[in-house]
Amino acid sequence: MTTAAPLAPFIAHTADHATVHIDLGERSYPIRIGAGLLGETSTYQGLPKARSALIVTNTTVAPLYLQQVRTALAAQYAQVHVVELPDGEAHKDWQTLNLIFDGLLQQGCDRKTLLFALGGGVIGDMTGFAAASYMRGVPFVQLPTTLLSQVDSSVGGKTAINHPLGKNMIGAFYQPQLVLCDLASLDTLPVRELSAGLAEVIKYGPIADMAFFDWLEANIDLLRSGDRQAMAQAVKRSVEIKAWVVSQDEKEAGLRAVLNFGHTFGHAIEAGMGYGVWLHGEGVGAGMVMAAHLSQELGLVDAAFVARLTRLIERAGLPTKGAMLDAKDNAGAYLEHMRVDKKAEAGEIRFVLIDGPGKAVMRSAPDALVRQVIDRCCG
């Protein structure tokens, strides 16, 4: 990642609360990290003035956090409306997105209405897309309640829904006004969801910061146990790296694409298996192993690095083997899905690979070599 301004060095910290700023000129905003933020009225001060707010959440998150957020917002907005969506990646589609528009229109929401995305990555992506589209753009706030959404999808303004032929293929770049990462919300995460979030934490080491990777190796057991101090450290550093990348390449013209390490293979798994069968982070976990093997085949890293990354992904409770998408031609099924990946150019698949530990690069590779890697890493 030598094309970017230097990334601040990794320094372990013990602070309970932190703020990371993402620098995008007039679209800049803070990412606040700490425990108990969702229910604090003061955390919502400074947002644009409006008559009404609309909270978008889902059937799983609503019973846990909706009331405290609604109460906190009621101190600032005369009307606080709610749209509750079904839970899961399988519902990240046009039909569910329209439920948000239905709510906005039925309540007579105007162009100053603020949307609040209360939930994981699916809720954040759909709420952001709705905000970008409603009346050609209304402000919104990210309230991510999963580890994956706190360290990745809530930061950077990517919004989208899925299409049966490809993940996140329909969407817009649209930045939030604020991101609140309430660490207390991670206490209610199922074990599988927590591990899925760790995939997006782990990826930042190989692509940008091997000192952070070293720290993750030493603290992965604490993270899996939900240790609050370890979580604060992991979320803060992940957000710092993502904010650093996005501030230099907001709309993924080049550098930002490296944040998709493991995602080309992972998205193929999600689409090929059917959305929701594998969690996004599970696909990314196996996808990082596959991308590491491809990096090794191209002479960019050695076998020791591949083994080291694979061990950490396994210790995080994530799959290290890709799914079988087609019994007759599994590699062919992967290639078919990957050709519609957003990073593909003129039908040529572009992979995020590791060009030495701590540095990512975009490269293509011969189909025959990709097939070998898929055959080795699946099953």
Give the active site residues. Answer: 136, 158, 200, 242, 252, 256, 260, 263, 267, 280
How far is it, in rounded angstroms, from Cα 67 to Cα 75?
13
Select from 231, 193, 198, 209 the least CA-distant residue to 312: 198
What distance lies between CA 281 and its chain's CA centroid?
9
State the Cα–Cα distance between residues 66 and 116, nearest whole angstrom: 11
CA distances from 124 to 175, 200, 325, 337 (A): 11, 16, 28, 24
For residue 366, the 8-state DSSP code is -
**Cβ–Cβ contacts within 10 Å for residue 294, how many?**
27
DSSP 8-state code for residue 356: S
Task: Give the dihedral sign, CA 231/168/30/80.
Answer: negative
- Alpha-carbon dihedral sign for residues 161, 81, 20, 186: negative
Give 44's DSSP letter: G
Nearest to 216 by CA among 192, 193, 241: 241
Q: Which amino acid is at 355?
A: D
